[in-house]
């Protein structure tokens, strides 16, 4: 199993996603002799998981059932253990596009955090690219290395435990893109410029406060970056449903009836379209935004090394 290569069958040691519903799923490490408790009963790894195909419908001990899904960066983002605040797919998709990443790209990232963005970056640059990710916190860096090894992507990523603002990324003039998610990104702009290739490299900084954005933009200008722009991505979900509304009875005057030759006493006119419309209802699709939505997450500032 790997987050960048699809495996057909579930194997011992794999990380799988137990899917109970769109709002209820969780990751599990598949191991011989282990059981997993769910609200539908017990899942026995040896009998119910190992050797089965990903996507299989598994019946639990209480008669309920779940689906076992192959992990992807998107599913991992929704289910990973949170060591820090994470980026979600709405921002991740824009970051990947605006940094112009593709298979073979070299990317530098700081900080690693919970690894949500890291998994998406690795999947994008595979199989010939590489991610250099820097994490200031030692325990988080060690945990990230462990997860990358378990997920079969350790050959595509290098995790370094150091302060990027003081020591940089540990590489020079090779990166196609740099991503910064740190409290003071303006202090790392110089190191980011050194890590980027000679010309044309892209940089992105994620900051929750506009004051951070202002200082970062000033630092980018100071170091000669061009095409500086800042985006805020908001996801607004609409609830599409079918509703029924009664057609209003606008009435019909006697003059209208006489002018059109309509005779309500005539049995042949009792089933006329006009009568049915006035007494009936109409159904149509309606899109209504949810009462609550995910608000501000952060500002994404992009620039190009000239």
Which CATH architecture best describes the domain 9-71? Roll (3.10)
Q: Residues within the annotated binding site?
A: 114-117, 135, 163, 181
End-to-end CA distance of the chain: 40
Per residue in 231-282, pLDDT (tens digit) is: 999 888 888 989 888 887 777 655 555 555 545 555 555 544 444 444 588 8
pLDDT on residue 274: 45
- Predicted confidence (pLDDT) per residue in 58-108, tens digit: 999 998 999 999 999 999 999 999 999 999 999 999 999 999 999 999 999
* Model pLDDT for residues 27-45, shown as the tens digit of each residue: 999 999 999 999 999 999 9
Listed by start position, the domains of the chain span 9-71, 75-234+295-305
Mean pLDDT of the region 177-198: 97
Residue 47: is its pLDDT beyond 80? yes
pLDDT at position 36 is 95
Q: Where does the pLDDT of residue 214 fall: very low under 50, low under 70, confident under 90, or very high at 90 and above?
A: very high
Question: What's the mean pLDDT in 217-239?
Answer: 94
Q: What is the dihedral of CA 240, 76, 141, 234, to 10 degrees?
A: -10
What's the mean pLDDT in 296-300? 93
27 and 76 in contact (C-beta within 8 Å)?
A: yes
Q: Binding site residues for S-adenosyl-L-methionine, as ranges?
A: 114-117, 135, 163, 181
Q: Are 100 and 122 in contact (CB under 8 A)?
A: no
- pLDDT-derived band at 209 (thresholds 50, 70, 90) equals very high
φ/ψ of 279, rounded to 5, equals -100, -5
User: For 131, left (φ over 0), alpha (ψ -120 to 50), or beta?
Assistant: beta
153, 122 contact by CB (below 8 A): yes
Are 114 and 91 contacting, i.e. CB atoms less than 8 angstroms apart?
no
Q: Is the pLDDT of residue 46 over 90?
A: yes
Specify the pLDDT at position 295: 80
| Residues 104-160: tens digit of each pLDDT | 999 999 999 999 999 999 999 999 999 999 999 999 999 999 999 999 999 999 999
pLDDT score of 268: 53
Q: pTM, whole model, 2 decimals?
A: 0.84
CATH architecture label of 75-234+295-305: 3-Layer(aba) Sandwich (3.40)
Please give the pLDDT value at position 257: 54
Q: Report the distance separating Cα 76 and Cα 2, nearest Å.
A: 12
Q: Which helix (H) or strand (E) holds 165?
A: helix 164-167
DSSP secondary structure string, 199-244? SS-EEEEEESSHHHHHHHHHHHHHTTEEEEEEEE-----EEEEEEE
Helix (H) or strand (E) holding 95: helix 89-98
pLDDT the model gives residue 37: 94
How far is it, in rounded angstroms, from Cα 26 to Cα 66?
A: 11
Helix (H, G, I), strand (E, B) or coil at 293: coil
Other C-beta atoms lying within 10 Å of the C-beta of residue 305: 23
């Amino acid at each position: 199993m790997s987050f960048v290569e699809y495996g057909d069958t579930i194997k011992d040691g794999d990380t799988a996603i137990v899917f109970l519903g769109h709002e209820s799923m969780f990751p599990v490490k598949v191991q011989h002799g282990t059981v997993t408790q769910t609200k539908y009963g017990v899942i026995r790894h040896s009998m119910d998981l190992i050797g089965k195909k990903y996507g299989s419908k598994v019946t639990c001990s209480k008669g309920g059932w779940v689906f076992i899904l192959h992990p992807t960066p998107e599913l991992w983002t929704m289910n990973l253990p949170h060591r820090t605040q994470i980026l979600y797919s709405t921002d991740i998709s824009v970051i990947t596009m605006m940094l112009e990443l593709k298979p073979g790209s070299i990317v530098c990232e700081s900080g690693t955090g919970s690894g949500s963005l890291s998994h998406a970056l690795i999947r994008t640059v595979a199989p010939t690219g590489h991610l250099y990710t820097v994490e200031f916190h030692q325990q988080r860096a060690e945990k990230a290395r462990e997860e990358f090894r378990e997920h079969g992507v350790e050959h595509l990523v290098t995790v370094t435990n150091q302060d990027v603002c003081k020591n940089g990324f540990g590489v020079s003039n090779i990166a196609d893109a740099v991503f910064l998610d740190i409290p003071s990104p303006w202090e790392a702009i110089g190191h980011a410029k050194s890590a980027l290739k000679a010309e044309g490299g892209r940089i992105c900084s994620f900051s929750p406060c506009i004051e951070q954005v202002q200082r970062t933009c000033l630092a980018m200008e100071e170091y000669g970056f061009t095409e500086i722009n800042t985006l805020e991505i908001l996801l607004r979900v609409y609830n599409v449903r079918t509703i029924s509304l009664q057609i209003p009875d606008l009435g019909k005057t006697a003059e209208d009836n006489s002018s059109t030759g309509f005779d309500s006493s005539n049995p042949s006119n009792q089933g006329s379209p006009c009568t049915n419309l006035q007494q009936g209802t109409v159904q149509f699709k309606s899109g209504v935004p949810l009462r609550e939505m995910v608000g501000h997450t952060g500002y994404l500032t992009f620039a190009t090394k000239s």
